[in-house]
Chains A and B, each alone.
Chain A
Amino acid sequence: MFTAFIIAIEILAALLLQTAVFPYLEIAGIAPDLMMIVTVAAGYQKGRLPGMFTGLACGLLLDVTSSGVLGVYALFFLFIGYLNGLAKEYYVVNDTFLPLLLLAISELAFSALVYVFEFLIRGKLNVLFYLRRIMFPRVLYTVVAGIVLYKILDLIYRYLIVRHQEKQQAQQP
Chain B
Amino acid sequence: MRRGNGQNYGVEPKYILMLCSCLCICLIFLSYKFSSVFEPLRNGINAFITPMQRGITVVGESVNDFFGKFDDVERLKAENETLREKIAELEYANDLLQTDLYDLELYKQLLELAETYVDYPTVGANIIAKDTSGYYATFTIDKGSDQGMAVDMNVIADNGLVGIITEVGKNYAIVRSIIDDNSYVSASILKTSDNCIVSGNLELLDTGFIEVRDISINSEVKNNYKVYTSSLSEKYLPDILIGYISNIQVEADGLSRKGYLTPVVDFEHLNTVLVITMLKESPITGEEEAN
Binding site for B on A (CB under 8 A): 12, 15-16, 18-24, 26, 28-33, 47-49, 52, 56, 59, 61, 64-67, 69-72, 74-75, 78-79, 82, 85, 88-93, 111, 114-115, 118-119, 124, 126, 129-130, 133-134, 137-138
Inter-subunit contact B202/A119 (CB<8 Å): yes
List residues of chain B with CB within 8 A of the CB of A93.
Answer: 3
Q: Is B152 an interface residue (CB 8 A)?
A: no
Stretch at the interface among B12-20, B108-116, B230-238, B241-249: B12-20
Interface residues of B (CB under 8 A from A): 1-3, 5, 7, 9, 13-14, 16-17, 20-21, 24-28, 30-32, 35, 38, 41-42, 45-46, 49, 52-53, 56-57, 60, 64, 128-136, 138, 140, 166-167, 174, 176, 181-182, 202-203, 205-206
Contact A20–B24 (Cβ < 8 Å): no
Contact sample, A vs B, 6 pairs, CB 8 Å cutoff: A20-B53, A47-B5, A69-B28, A70-B28, A70-B30, A82-B17
Contact status A82-B129, CB under 8 Å: no
| Contacting pair A20 B9 (CB below 8 A) | no
Partner of A19, one of B17, B25, B132: B132
The CA-CA distance from A148 to B20 in the complex, in Å, is 31
List B contacts of A52 (CB < 8 A). 13, 16-17, 20
Q: Are A15 and B49 in contact (CB-based, < 8 A)?
A: yes
* Closest residue on chain A to residue B137 by CB atoms: A29
A64 to B14, CA, bound (A): 26
Further pairs besides A30-B134, A66-B136, A115-B135: 17, Cβ < 8 Å: A19-B129, A19-B132, A21-B60, A33-B132, A47-B5, A48-B13, A49-B9, A49-B13, A52-B17, A64-B46, A66-B174, A70-B27, A71-B31, A78-B24, A114-B133, A119-B202, A133-B203
Instruction: Determine the distance from Cα of A59 to Cα of B24 in the docked complex, in whole angstroms.
Output: 10
Neighbouring B residues of A130 by C-beta, 8 Å:
202
Report chain A residues within 8 Å CB of B52. Answer: 16, 20
Q: Which 8 A-B pairs have the closest CB atoms?
A: A71-B27, A31-B132, A19-B129, A70-B31, A75-B24, A67-B167, A48-B13, A71-B28
Given A67-B166, A67-B167, A89:B132 Cβ within 8 A:
no
Contacts of A66 in B (CB 8 A): 131, 136, 138, 174
> With A and B bound together, what is the CA distance between A48 and B17 in angstroms?
9
Residues of A within 8 A of B136 (CB): 66
Q: Are B32 and A67 in contact (CB under 8 A)?
A: no
What's the Cα separation between A22 and B167 when bound, in Å?
22
B residues within 8 A CB of A91?
1, 3
Min C-beta distance of A60 to chain B, whole Å:
8
Enumerate chain B residues within 8 angstroms of A33, measured Cβ to Cβ. Answer: 132-133
In angstroms, Cα B20 to Cα A137, docked, is: 31
